[in-house]
Structure 1
Amino acid sequence: MQSTVPATGILDFFRNGFEHTAWRLETRREYDADQRTEEYQQFLQGVAPDNDEDSPWYSNTRTQTGQGKRIERVRLVDEPATDNQRYLLATTPGNLAAGEDIRYLYRSAAAAIGLEEEGDFWLFDSQVLAHFNWRDSDRRMELTTDPEQVLRACQVRDAAWHYAVRYEEFNRRVPSPM
């Protein structure tokens, strides 16, 4: 199965599109969506991000995890971390407070286990693989249930999760994001 979710429907998909787990691999050094925000620009000027507990993402995450669902991610980080990676480190406490489990893996360690070339993706219930397409004018999330692609994503998830470390431990290893 192949389908798409338009940008306007992505949050609704996260509300209703999975039963048990949503897992993400974040591999990019920079995310345009972050860089366009005023909060990110202020972060670059030394202002700590305001983790808005009432944001749609945090509210939905609290609801989902309150129902027993898991929302997890592994973020690859360069040495030294890029500005965007430092920003994501600074905003992680809000995600954790909302119920996500976010872990970190240095890009060099990811390369050593063969994950360097993997792109960003979400994996839902180990059955649906999603990639964001922000290149085209009709921004969207592209979904597939192709068994080979889903199996590869499950293997990547398992390897990344095994080697990644919890935020608290990783944060002790890196210089302060501010």
Structure 2
Amino acid sequence: MGRTFDSLDDEEFNRLFADFRYTAYRLEALQVYDVSYEKDEFVRFLGGEDRGVFPGIAGWIEQTVRPAAQAGKRMHRVHVVEEPLSDYVRFECAWSYEHTVPAGEDVRIIAVPQGVWPEGLPRFDYWLFDSCRLVTMHYEDDGAFSYAELVDDPERIVEANRLRDLAVARSVPYREFASRYDAGFRPTTG
């Protein structure tokens, strides 16, 4: 087991997002994440309120996504989402991706029917920096962050690259996926 991070606020973990040279890739597999910096906004979203200020995503955009894009670095992710969308995925799309994509993050989606999973793709999350630094993300069943692990096993790193390429090949750009939904990420008719 490599270095573990028990908090998303860990300084060394966050330095990975500043220090990567070319690419930062994320595979997201969960349908709900229980993240403390989103709790109030998620409640507001469920209540039908307007987005307004969202400090957690604003910080992510201003401190990570936009500086990376301006430096010519690529931040991209693929999220496997089950349809019908969970409330959390609807929230993530409407209040996060709708703002990170214009800031320079390449978000892609693999949409599958509920209970079906894309063959060959894992049901766990990870970050892959510059195709050579792998961080596996571990969550509880309710989506609460448990820990992240910096993996130093070359075989697992190579496999993460293969899985990234497979996920990207099977995904569609976020905007294409989003065009099927209204502003609250409910399916549009017709």
TM range, normalised to the smaller chain? 0.7 to 0.9
What stretches of structure 1 of length at least 5 have no aligned partner? Answer: none
Q: Conserved in 2, the CA contact under 8 Å of 1:29 and 1:84?
A: yes
Moved more, 24-33 or 102-111: 102-111
CA distance in 1, matches of 2:4, 2:105: 25
**8 Å contact from structure 2 (residues 16, 129) kept in 1:** no
Q: How far, CA to CA, are the matches of 2:15 and 2:166 in structure 1?
A: 29
Equivalences for residues 20-35 of structure 1 within 5 A: 20-33=22-35
**Matches of 1:107 and 1:145 in 2, distance apart?**
32
Tell me, what secondary structure is at the counterpart of 1:15?
helix
Q: 1:51–1:68: structure 2 CA closer, same or farther, 3 Å change rule?
A: farther
Instruction: State the shift of 1:19 in Å.
Output: 1.0
Change over 3 Å in CA distance of 1:166–1:84 after alignment to 2: same
Structure-2 residue corresponding to 1:166? 173
Per the alignment, residue 64 of structure 1 pairs with: 68
Q: Which residue of structure 1 aligns with residue 188 of structure 2?
A: none
What is the correspondence of 1:1-178 to structure 2 with a 5 Å cutoff?
A: 2-5=2-5, 7=7, 8-9=10-11, 10-16=13-19, 18-33=20-35, 37-50=39-52, 52=54, 55-59=58-62, 60-90=64-94, 91-108=96-113, 111-115=117-121, 117-133=122-138, 140-177=147-184
In angstroms, what is the RMSD of aligned CA positions? Answer: 2.6
Q: Is the 8 A contact 1:34 1:40 kept in 2?
A: no
CA pair 52-35 structure 1, distance change in 2 beyond 3 A: closer
Q: Distance in 2 between matches of 1:80 and 1:72?
A: 24
1:158 positional shift = 0.5
| TM-score (ref. length: structure 2) | 0.80
**Aligned residue-pair number:** 174
- 3-state SS of 1:55 partner: helix
Report sequence identity in percent: 32
Structure 1 residue 5: Cα displacement: 4.0
- Measure, in 1, the Cα distance between the counterparts of 2:29 and 2:37: 16
Runs ≥4 in structure 1, deviation > 3 angstroms? 50-54, 107-110
Distance in 2, Cα, partners of 1:99 & 1:37: 25
Structure 2 residues without counterparts, runs of 5 or longer: 186-190
Question: In proportion to residue count, which structure has more helix?
Answer: 1
- State how far apart, in whole Å, the 1-side matches of 2:91 and 2:112 are: 17
